[in-house]
Structure 1
């Protein structure tokens, strides 16, 4: 089941604007239920950047931006959904409404360009080129994603619920990928991001940084979270309710809670002179 990012975004996910800009239908729920990023990841990106000026691409409600701000960075968000941008501004974040491809930096430069669970909605070539344009030499580009893996018995139950109810493009795992680990399923997305960075000729060779952690969800917490997932934001209310019933029954069978294993993966490179 999807959580903080779709397991298998479409090969041209950045073209699916109707999905990319659907999360603002309930920005408060999105902000409340989406998992923050590991402190160790935030600290490493901060330490590897040459200064405090950060650009957060697809900042959403400001989850990652608030974490970088708490680490002493000055963060400007760029977000295509005005509803998400308005929510982020409530907490004092500065956000400009645009896709990163169309955004005009106006001569501003940054020490890091980050993107939390958003870079798959960005054209990987145009996005990397814009990052190269606005980064100082030595600045860091660092998009990152949550990769998640539920307990096997829950994964099977969730998959069955999705097969019955959700369209193929809203399912978290394709049938042919069921035997792969979560990180293996994400690798095409990570490779596409790295290839876009390489294609600019403006960055060092991309690296992957991985941070493993866990989070326990109660039944109610998981069902509160699910409607914020890509694809499910567009389900008709009756279909969404049916899917939530199936997911809830699966968690009940586990005793009312479960522990999700996460890996947060960063694809990162530095701007060369």
Structure 2
């Protein structure tokens, strides 16, 4: 994602049709649940505290996937309605939160769902807000929030190997996965995410931005890293034979330079905005 227009229209870049968009993660849902990083409970608790969501707060989650953040919200005792357009992801999410009766997973998109006069203390989107159509997204979000409501955008950025390892992979990415061929520094990643909060503020419907960034470093088995890549949209868009060739080429280079394990880093970010009160 390079320019503001590309970021705002990310979902269109890879899934121009609604049916395709709703099925986009279907083939990689299990892998997504297994190898995508979760949100640390302490990080979520900090976001909730900064957002000042009441203990009995009602939360609408947008694009919950397999429940990556939903589980943490459930553990904190919130009542959550979680929307997810992928049926496969819904099924996994329902399994993951089965022990929590205060969570409802609905197989639909934010654009299609109507709250029927319900208002929420918070709308939470965990690495999903870029998939919501840019047309009227902030207007609809504001209309669903109480006067004291907040929009909480959570992000886990792309997991990256150290630069010294990435340099061995660059040519393979250029050939097979150009979107991954450029190493992004941490400041640039956050700058790209700021486009969404800038748009929210520019809408006049949200204000008082609070944000925090935490850097995470983890060790992954090579096989898990290769499986992780398959859950990112540019890789999903590849033809199966191209995806296989990419994986095998990367495996050979990584085995030579890393052995069986490699270090990855990513950033967890929260961006919290208050709903702006209408002028009296």
| TM-score, normalised relative to structure 1 | 0.86
CA distance in 2, matches of 1:27, 1:185: 25
2:236 alignment counterpart: 233
Which secondary structure does the structure 2 equivalent of 1:132 belong to?
helix
1:134 to partner: Cα distance: 1.3
Correspondence 1:206 to 2:209: yes
Task: Tell me the residue number matched to 1:242.
Answer: 245
1:172 corresponds to which of 149, 173, 180: 180
1:119 — aligned with what?
Answer: 129
Q: Give the deviation of 1:128 after TM superposition.
A: 2.0
How much does 1:77 deviate? 0.8
Question: Which residue number in structure 2 is paired with residue 50 of structure 1?
Answer: 53
SS of corresponding position for 2:167? helix
Following superposition, the deviation at residue 139 of structure 1 comes to 1.9
Which residue does 1:256 correspond to in 2? 260
Tell whether the 8 Å contact from 1:101 to 1:123 is kept in structure 2 after alignment: yes
Q: Is the 8 Å Cα contact of residues 212 and 264 (structure 1) preserved in structure 2? A: yes
**SS of residue matched to 2:208:** coil
Q: Hey, what does 1:197 align to over in structure 2?
A: 200
- Structure 1: give runs of 5+ residues left out of the alignment: 1-5
1:130 maps to which of 131, 137, 140:
140
Cα 1:173/1:196, change in 2 over 3 Å:
farther
Q: 1:261 to 1:248 in 2, by over 3 A?
A: same
CA distance in 1, matches of 2:3, 2:270: 17
Aligned residues: 260
Give 1:264 deviation, angstroms: 0.9
The whole-number CA distance in structure 2 between the counterparts of 1:105 and 1:113 is 12
- Once the 2 structures are TM-superposed, how far is the Cα of residue 237 of structure 1 from its aligned partner? 1.8
Counterpart among 79, 83, 100 of residue 84 in structure 2: 79
SS of 2:28's equivalent? helix
Give 3-state SS (helix, strand or coil) of 1:149's partner: coil
Is the alpha carbon distance of 1:268 and 1:81 closer, same or farther for their aligned partners in structure 2, counting shifts above 3 Å?
same
RMSD (Å) for aligned C-alpha atoms = 2.3
Where does the alignment leave 5 or more consecutive residues of structure 2 unmatched?
none
Match of 1:37 in 2: 39
Q: Which of the numbers 131, 147, 161 marks the counterpart of 2:172?
A: 161
Q: Distance in 2 between matches of 1:68 and 1:164?
A: 40
Could you list the structure 1 runs, at least 4 aligned residues long, displaced by more than 6 angstroms after superposition.
6-9
Give the secondary structure class of the aligned counterpart of 2:115: coil
Q: Partner of 1:27 in structure 2?
A: 29
The whole-number CA distance in structure 2 between the counterparts of 1:43 and 1:8 is 32
Q: How far did residue 31 of structure 1 move?
A: 0.9
SS at match of 1:266: strand
**2:71 match:** 66
- Aligned residue for 2:125, secondary structure, equals strand
Residue deviations 1:160-184, cap 9 Å, x none? 2111123x4xx2254xxx4x51331
Partners of 2:122 and 2:36 lie apart in 1 by 23
Which residue of 1 is the match for residue 224 of structure 2?
A: 221
CA spacing shift, 1:73–1:7, aligned 2, 3 Å: farther
1:85-110: CA deviations, max 9, x gaps? 22212333422233212321111111
